Amino acid sequence: MEQFTPIASLWGGILIGLSASFLLLSDGKIAGISGIMGGLLRPVKNDTAWRILFILGLITGGLLFQFLSPDVFTTGISRSIGALILAGLLVGFGTRLGSGCTSGHGVCGISRFSPPSLVSMVTFIVTGATTVYIINHLLGGAL
């Protein structure tokens, strides 16, 4: 088994839940990252600033770690440029087509007990696990 860090993981999760709750309380918005980004590609008047600032907040949070604890950005798996491009295209297109990703469906949707979000999350975990199975156990762990 990998290093077991349930307390850190739980705290990380609680912060994510608090952030989503704060965005809902302050702005009335759902903290779904793919939806927040997608909304910037077809901008609607008066619905842009909060999206840009949320994303800048994500990057700022990342910069804190880059300076204080860059270990959190350890990649740890080897993927070719082609695999990364394909993965990016699939994640971008898929999350928009499916109306959400791990944050929007997985955290916010499940918290509301939304049936579509539950179905979505089960589906992307199953296809994600199948993909990892193929890479790790049939293709030798790299792609």
Of 57-86, binders to other proteins (CB under 8 A) are 57-66, 69-70, 72-77, 79, 81, 83-86
Binding-site residue total for other proteins (CB under 8 A)?
Answer: 123
> Rule CB under 8 A: is residue 9 a binding residue for other proteins?
yes
Structure tokens at 111: 């918290």
* Non-local CB neighbours of 50 within 8 Å, separated by 6+ positions: 27, 29
- In the numeric block, the tokens 């290093």 are attached to 3
Q: What is the footprint of other proteins within residues 95-114 (CB under 8 A)?
A: 95-114
Question: Of the candidates 37, 138, 139, 140, which one interacts with other proteins according to CB under 8 A?
Answer: 37
Q: Are 70 and 63 in contact (CB under 8 A)?
A: no
The least distance separating other proteins from the CB of residue 82, rounded to whole angstroms, comes to 10
The DSSP 8-state label assigned to residue 113 in this structure reads: T
The least distance separating other proteins from the CB of residue 79, rounded to whole angstroms, comes to 6
Quick one: which of 42, 13, 30, 55 has its CA closest to 105? 30
Q: What is the footprint of other proteins within residues 113-142 (CB under 8 A)?
A: 113-117, 119-121, 123-133, 135-137
